[in-house]
Amino acid sequence: MPTPADGEVLLRHDWLGLAPAARLRMSEAGSYSAPTALGEVVYGQAIGTVLESRHPDFAPGDMVMSMRAGWQCFSTAAGDQLNRIDPALAPPPVWLGALGTSGLAAYIGLLDLGQPIAGETVVVSAAAGAVGSVVGQIARIKGCRVVGIAGGTDKCRVAVEEFGYDACVDHRSPTLADDLARACPQGIDVSFENAGGVSRDAAWASMAQGGRVVVCGLIAEYNDPQIAGPGWYTLLTRRLTVRGYITSDHIHRRDAFIADMSGWWRQGRIRMRQDVSVGLESAPAAFIGMLQGHNQGKVLVKL
């Protein structure tokens, strides 16, 4: 059991949130953070309960979200690195999903970088996933036509029926590019990229003049960082903007995010699916399953 230093608290982890971003650290290809070393704790967020506090803002029993809790049952953390959560507003798992880093990634990527205008067409890959489902729902709230790309008819149905997409196409379809083009007769103004690979290529072919592509994740490409991208002729002639981003660069937007998202949550305008497994030992299989697309919504581990 770790011991908190001055300014730190000791946390018991109640829920772990698994996210594809951790995959980027499991590689020597280089990313925005140092690779996780062999023997190190795997990176990840958790909702935890304060057991012991040496920080004036926290007392035993407080519930918090820790960005760098890791795949373990207890951790110590500096108090000023923690976000207090309000279980009266939404249950703890939601603070790892729609009201957590998944929701924040969706909010920043869509609104700050994608800058959709009411009436525009927004396409979201991994449309029913933890980030994608929030992107789709915010885009609807903002008055856009929202088209999803997801793996399989089940996920496409969930995207439309639960998350309010106007349409959703299956990325396994051999006619994916044509399917997507038909679902976006005015072209795509904002493409929110979670997947890469065939989803990205299909969206690229239908981008509208002045379109914005927001690159949040490339889950289909993490096993092969050498996969080529689409040609730049289209980028030039359609005046596209393509932006890769990391949520932590935009953390100053968290207050605005929480204000907006908690309002939408209270109004019932945001839904969230959870894919829960139990016990720390279930994390690796749940993580691999998520990277293979077997999950439905936010992947959580109940400890």
Give the footprint of a copy of itself on residues 9-48 (CB under 8 A).
24, 29-32
Calpha distance 303→81 (Å, rounded): 22
Q: Is residue 253 within the footprint of a copy of itself (CB under 8 A)?
A: no
Q: Is residue 243 within the footprint of a copy of itself (CB under 8 A)?
A: yes
Nearest CB to a copy of itself, comparing residues 35 and 289: 35
- Cβ–Cβ under 8 Å, residues 289 and 295: yes
Q: Is 249 exposed, middle or buried (0-12, 13-18, 19+ CB in 10 A)?
A: exposed
Nearest CB to a copy of itself, comparing residues 3 and 233: 233
Nearest CB to a copy of itself, comparing residues 118 and 233: 233
Q: Is residue 239 within the footprint of a copy of itself (CB under 8 A)?
A: yes
**Residues in CB range of 148: below 8 A, 6 or more apart:** 123, 124, 125, 127, 128, 132, 136, 156, 159, 160, 163, 165, 167, 168, 169
Q: Is residue 291 within the footprint of a copy of itself (CB under 8 A)?
A: no
Task: Let me know the angle formed at the C-alpha of 99 by 255 and 217, rounded to the nearest 5 degrees.
Answer: 100
151-190 footprint of a copy of itself as x/- string (CB under 8 A): ----------------------------------------
Minimum CB separation of residue 25 from a copy of itself in Å reads 10
Q: Is 195 exposed, middle or buried (0-12, 13-18, 19+ CB in 10 A)?
A: buried
| Tokens 């729609």, residue located | 98
Q: Is residue 240 within the footprint of a copy of itself (CB under 8 A)?
A: yes
Give the footprint of a copy of itself on residues 213-232 (CB under 8 A).
215, 217-218, 221-222, 225-232
Calpha distance 169→127 (Å, rounded): 10
Q: Is residue 115 within the footprint of a copy of itself (CB under 8 A)?
A: no
77-96 footprint of a copy of itself as x/- string (CB under 8 A): --------------------
Please provide the distance, in angstroms rounded to a whole number, between the alpha carbons at the two ends of the chain: 16
Q: What are the residues binding a copy of itself (CB under 8 A)?
A: 24, 29-32, 193, 196, 200, 209-210, 215, 217-218, 221-222, 225-246, 249
